[in-house]
Amino acid sequence: MATLAPGGPGSPSEPGQGTPTAMPGGGVWPTGGLPEGGFSGVRSLRRMRRAITSNGKATVGTGLLALFCLVAIFPGVIAHDNPSAEIYGRALGPSGQHLLGTTAFGQDIFAQVIYGTRPVILIAFGVGLSATVIAMLIGVAAAYLGGAWDGVLSLITDVLLVIPAFPLLIVIASYLHGASTAVLIAVVTAVSWSYTARQLRAQALSLRNRDFLEAARVRGERSLYIILVEIIPTMTSLLMASFLTNALYAVLFSSGLQFIGLGNPNTVSWGTMLYWAENNEAFQTGQALWIIVPGLCIVALGAGFALLNYAFDEIGNPALRPVKSMRRKRVLPR
């Protein structure tokens, strides 16, 4: 936040000074979770809400994400048919009873799409969270501890980084024969964390010599405490970005795996829908909706994550915001 005075409030210790006015606040993030740190949850939630509504990308992204989450949590409210039941007429077009038609097996496509949302959301959040947490622990520890620790941790990170993700995924998943959601989460996490670990290590390295970390050390804090409480909370924007990125790639990777048949084809998910639709040549046989709709959903969810990612970049770093042009006052030379 551009400020021009070193600090808005006059020194409160001056006699006769009224309650000083607060400066316009900086970042958006909920700060410090410790009782010592003091954290006003309500206040920062309010700030976050304001930040989201004021930024177009954030609003759209949040909207998309919220929509899919709701669908994932309450599928039964929206779709009344059983997605797996092959009881309807086959390959029917869209109609009043079947909003998107039916599959070649007689399943209701709309129900499938709705019920198929939950596994995708679970994978997205599951991978997003676990990849970020692993990357955070390894990357930041490597940066802060340095020396031999850094050497070992970085070696592990680099090895995983160099191996192409998707082929590795294919190898692992095919070995596991029909991966369930939990397995998919584990596998995609294992393949994704290394990239983020590298990024987080780089940022932690730049923070390592900041005075407030030395101050914590001089205070007598232990290294683990410094890593968890002093360093990581200052990296929240990068952590958020890595969560969103990993979630996005999780959606794409897992759907991709399911599409080529390495998921569990008996579960209902967008990726498996694509698999079955492709196997039954949905396009060619006039059941285009069967393949298009799950694809669009993947795109929409991915877009939601990506938009939020850009939006948080802008919120966290005012320099990236689009610069509003001022109403130019005509300046007449004298």
Partner 1 sequence: MSSPGNEVGGAVTAAQTADAVLTVRDLAVEYLLEGGTVRAVDGVSFDLSPGEFLGVVGESGCGKSTLLFAIAQLLVAPAEITGGSVVFRGQSMVGLTDRQLAAIRWKDLSVVMQSAMNALNPVKTIAAQFKDAMRAHGMTSKQEVADRSAEVLRMVGIDPVHLKSYPHQLSGGMRQRSMIAMALLLTPELVIMDEPTSALDVVAQRSLMVQIKELQEQLGFAVIFVTHDMSLVSHFSDRLMVMYAGRVDEFGPTRQVFDSPLHPYTIGLMEAFPSIRGPRVPLTGIPGSPPNLASPPPGCRFAPRCPKVMTRCREETPELYHVNGTLVRCFLQAGEGDGEQ
Partner 2 sequence: MTAEMPDARGGPGVTDRDSTMLLRTEGLTRHFRIGNTLSRGILHAVDDVSLAIGERQIVALAGESGSGKSTVARLLAKLYRPTSGEIYFQGKPLSAIRSRKDVLRYRGEVPMVFQDPFASINPVFRVSHGVMRSLKLHRPELSPHERRAEAERVFEAVGLAPAAEVLQRFPHELSGGQRQRVGFAQALALRPKLILADEPVSMLDVSIRIGLLNLMAKLRDEQGVSILYITHDIASARYVADRLIIMYAARIAEQGPTKEVLARPKHPYTQLLLSAVPDPRAPLNIGSETDRGEPPRVINPVPGCRFRWRCPLAIDECQTVTPELSELGPDHEAACHVARSGAEVRAFG
| Contact predicate 28/51, CB 8 Å | yes
Instruction: Restricting to residues 28-47, name those near partner 2 by CB under 8 A.
Output: 29, 31-32, 34-38
Q: Quick check: 215 binds partner 2 (CB under 8 A)?
A: yes
Select from 15-23, 67-75, 87-95, 246-254 the region that touches partner 1 (CB under 8 A): 15-23
Question: Rule CB under 8 A: is residue 11 a binding residue for partner 2?
Answer: yes
List binders of partner 1 among 271-330 (CB under 8 A): 323-326, 328-329
If binding is defined by CB under 8 A, does position 9 make contact with partner 1?
Answer: yes
| Residue 56 is a binding residue for partner 1 (CB under 8 A) | no
- Burial, 188: exposed, middle or buried (Cβ in 10 Å; 0-12, 13-18, 19+)? buried
Candidate list 46, 90, 210, 321; residue touching partner 2; CB under 8 A? 210
Q: Which two tokens stand for residue 24?
A: 């316009």
Looking at residue 139, its amino acid is: G
Q: Distances in Å between the alpha carbon of 65 and those of 59, 81, 125, 300, 309?
A: 10, 24, 11, 9, 12
Please choose which of partner 1, partner 2, none residue 17 contacts, taking the beta carbon within 5 to 8 angstroms, the exact cut-off set by kind: partner 1
Q: Is 220 in the site for partner 1 (CB under 8 A)?
A: no
3-state SS string over 126-147? HHHHHHHHHHHHHHHHHHHHCH
- Rule CB under 8 A: say whether 224 interacts with partner 2: no
Binding window for partner 2 (CB under 8 A); candidates: 79-87, 124-132, 164-172, 213-221: 213-221
First to last CA, the chain: 35
Number of residues that bind partner 2 (CB under 8 A): 36
List b or e across 190-226, with b for residues whose CB sees 16 or more CB atoms inside 10 angstroms.
bbbbbbbbbbbbebbbebbeeeebeebeeeeeeeeeb
Task: By CB under 8 A, name the binding residues for partner 2.
Answer: 1, 5-9, 11-13, 22-23, 25-26, 29, 31-32, 34-38, 210-212, 214-221, 230, 233-234, 236
Task: By CB under 8 A, name the binding residues for partner 1.
Answer: 1-2, 4-11, 14, 17, 21, 23-24, 323-326, 328-329, 331-334
